[in-house]
Amino acid sequence: MNLKINSNVNPKQSLIIIGCGPGSREYLLPAAWSAAQEADVIAGSARLLDLFSDLPAPKTLCPAGSHDAIELLEKLCGQHKQVALLVSGDPGLFSLAAPVHRHFGRERCRVIPGISSVQLAFSRLGLSSVASRIISAHGRNPDICATDLIDVSPIAVLCGTQSAYTWSANLVDELKETHQAWMCMDLGLPEETIFPVMSLELKKQPVRSLSIVMLEHRSVLVNTK
């Protein structure tokens, strides 16, 4: 199959999927702002819609579930020439963008990348992402054993629910001899917090929806001293 892709706006691309970064205007890419300005209507969570409150286009709340979100977007695309869907972080990383893109197809979608909270966590801790492993514990516990990760560094676990915190705490406990764990919360926001954490402390932490557990191999820590 020969597929021609260019960066110019295709009039058939009625849906623009915009990566909004970790959630503050500071980390919102200029390309995301420009794309949102083209839209006739903007859909997303209340938190992300607030980033574009200055734009005159009407805003509509988008359900978090993929089935309901797609149903809404189909309706909006039938009513408007250009619809913008706001997603947190980067659309390519455990995002609502994936099922939406599969449903509408490459020809109908234009995707604007964003800065993910994982990228920000790597930067804050001065870690390279080349050999990293990124795991999402949202929705269900990952089918991954600690023994599969013993030589991996760094490891980023996307949390945000009680079950994700519990799963992450168990992983931190199993890898405590080989890895140092860090809790990263609300990255890129005024309340951003990063601190070293043990499994017991992690189990006692109040659940924050925007949180990542980072694990760094202790051999890396030794080599960087």
Q: Where are the domains of the chain?
A: 15-115, 118-223
CA distance 88 to 213: 18
Per-residue pLDDT of the chain (225 residues; tens, 9 = 90+): 444 444 454 555 689 999 999 989 999 999 999 999 999 999 999 999 999 999 999 999 999 889 999 999 999 999 999 999 999 999 999 889 999 999 999 999 999 999 999 999 999 999 999 999 999 998 788 999 999 999 999 999 999 899 999 999 999 999 999 999 999 999 999 999 999 999 888 888 888 888 999 999 988 665 554
CA distance 218 to 41: 49
The CATH number of 118-223 is 3.30.950.10
Cβ atoms of 215 and 175 within 8 Å: the answer is: yes
Cβ atoms of 80 and 5 within 8 Å: the answer is: no
The CATH number of 15-115 is 3.40.1010.10
Question: Which residues, in sequence order, are CB contacts of 162 under 8 Å at separation 6+?
Answer: 207
- Sheet order of strands, 179-185 included: 133-136, 155-158, 211-217, 179-185, 193-196
Cβ atoms of 172 and 198 within 8 Å: the answer is: yes
Check: pTM over 0.75? Answer yes or no: yes
Nearest to 29 by CA among 106, 90, 82: 90
CA distance 6 to 28: 23
